[in-house]
Amino acid sequence: MRTVDIVTIQFSWVEEDPGPLAPHLLRGALGEHFRNDPLFHQHDESRVLYRYPLVQYRWHGGQAVVLGLGAGAQALVHFNWPGVELRVGNRLLHVRDAVCEFHRHSITLTDHLVRYRFMAPWLPFNQDLYQRYRGLDLATQARERDRLSVAGLLLALRGFGVEITGRLFAAFEMRSCHPCPYKGVQLLGFRGRLLTNLDLPNGFALGRAVSHGYGWIEREG
């Protein structure tokens, strides 16, 4: 079991609402503002940090959202946001309000399956793995999605210090799939539900590109 601090911040702007704001634009704006803090952009000088992102950027319910986990949560909650100037794409925006929600969640194995809905497409493949996946029959593709859901959960949990000592189960119920842009390439994204014997916090994300707004879940029921 591990108790994790979680902070979500929703921004509103002094200027006219910019409408749908791509998470990568918000990530770029805050990464530039906090250029000396690798929590916000996953770079240490010229070196990319290959780790689970503890600050993630999303667009949800018509508002820009930033989520922090662990050290990322502490960084977000202790910053004075109103008045911050951000270059978002080709617009200069000023933060009017930042609504901050803080909670703690104990991640544990459960004695029953819990169903979560992907609120943004899940990207389990890089391009090479996708080519291999395309060559599989439908039944084997389904097993591969289940396998990758287990692997994605373990990798994400390990990223902020959670080690699962019991047996982890996970399966994916696919609703649809479609290409999703990421860093100039198209990756395959899946919509659907995740079933697992883990008690996870709302907003938890797995797969590729989670700092760009992909692969996050909310509990159903």
Whether the pLDDT of residue 72 is over 60: the answer is yes
State the chain's mean pLDDT as an integer: 88
Give the model's confidence band at 2: pLDDT under 50 very low, under 70 low, under 90 confident, else very high: confident
CB distance 112 to 197 below 8 Å: yes
What percent of the chain lies above the pLDDT cut of 90?
A: 49
Q: Where are the domains of the chain?
A: 2-104, 108-219
What per-residue confidence (pLDDT) applies to 49? 54
Whether the pLDDT of residue 163 is over 90: the answer is no
Give the model's confidence band at 44: pLDDT under 50 very low, under 70 low, under 90 confident, else very high: low
Tell me, what DSSP letter sits at residue 15? S
The CATH code belonging to domain 108-219 is 3.30.70
Whether the pLDDT of residue 25 is over 70: the answer is yes
What is the per-residue pLDDT across 105-130, written as a single tens digit (0 to 9) for each? 999 999 999 999 999 999 998 878 88
Q: Which span out of 6-20, 82-96, 105-119 was modeled with the highest average pLDDT?
A: 105-119
Burial 43-80 (b: 16+ CB within 10 A, else e): eeeeeeeeebbbbbbbbbeeebbbbbbbebbbbbeeee
pTM of the predicted protein model: 0.88
- The three state secondary structure string of 103-164 is EEEEEEEEEEEEEEEECCCECCCCHHHHHHHHCCCHHHHHHHHHHHHHHHHHHHHHHCCCCC
What is the per-residue pLDDT across 179-216, written as a single tens digit (0 to 9) for each? 998 888 888 999 999 999 999 999 999 999 998 889 99
The CATH code belonging to domain 2-104 is 3.30.70
Whether the pLDDT of residue 96 is over 80: the answer is yes
Same fold, 2-104 and 108-219: yes
